Amino acid sequence: MASVQLSELVDFSQKSLLISAVSIAFNPTFWNIIARQEYHNKVLTRLFGGKSQTACYFLAATIFSLGIVRDLLYERALRHQPSHPLLETKEVTYFGFALLALGNLLVVSSTWQLGITGTFLGDYFGILMDDIVTGFPFNVTDAPMYYGSTMSFLGSALVYAKPAGLLVTVFVLFVYLVALRFENPFTAGIYAKRDAERAAVSKSDTKKTR
Ligand SMILES: *[C@@H]1O[C@H](CO)[C@@H](O)[C@H](O)[C@H]1NC(C)=O
């Protein structure tokens, strides 16, 4: 039985593959650094003359643009990679399109539910959601943005029939899981602080009314 080497499925000599991986890792690193700078030092809000809403919209546009660049670099990397006959079947292609549709549905519905500031790190700007969103897609997954994006990467890999895309998808998932481990405790902390402050306010209100 012939054993298949990863190097036969993926052309590691293509620079576009490395560039794609770098842009995938860069994006969450970038927005986490900026968001924490904003939270601790109000860097972006100051840049926008104290208007945190405007500053958050600016960050949202930046993150969105970086996402488009990342997607273009991924597609370019895929075009430089060899296809595999096992992936070049109709079934695989249809499954890929289904994953693309589902992944985009998760991302779009999540943005719809959270709004722009809720989606793009508004909590770091002090723009907090009033309540935890529990409707779709948050009743299926706690991180629809990240899992939806991962599904889209997988979908493209299958549509293009490129094993390299499968490898990149594993890397995307890894990057997002690291990001979640980094982001979740921090966001939870922001909301815990708000809830503690709310509780303190309502306590002093009860005192006043007595
Ligand atoms: C999530 O919510 C949607 C829309 O309300 C609903 O159709 C779906 O069945 C729910 N899914 C789960 C797993 O609860």
Per-residue model confidence (pLDDT) at position 208: 53
DSSP labels for 71-133? HHHHHHHHHTSPP-GGG-SHHHHHHHHHHHHHHHHHHHHHHHHHHHHHHTTGGGGT---SS--
For residue 69, name the pLDDT band (cuts at 50, 70, 90): very high
For residue 139, name the pLDDT band (cuts at 50, 70, 90): very high
CA of 136 to the centre of ligand 1 (A): 6
* Ligand 1 binding pocket mutation candidate from 139, 140, 142 (most atoms within 8 A of CB): 139
Per-residue model confidence (pLDDT) at position 102: 98
Residue 204's Cβ-count burial label (10 Å; 0-12, 13-18, 19+) is exposed
Tell me if residue 13 falls in helix, strand or coil.
Answer: coil
pLDDT at 1 over 70: no
pLDDT tens-digit series, residues 103-115: 999 999 999 999 9
For residue 2, name the pLDDT band (cuts at 50, 70, 90): low
Average pLDDT over residues 149-155: 98
Pairwise CA distance, residues 73 & 168, whole Å: 12
Ligand 1 in reach of 139 Cβ (< 6 A): yes
pLDDT at 158 over 70: yes
Output the residue whose Cα is nearest ligand 1's atom 7.
136
Average pLDDT over residues 154-168: 98
Output the residue whose Cα is nearest ligand 1's atom 4.
136
Ligand 1 in reach of 136 Cβ (< 6 A): yes
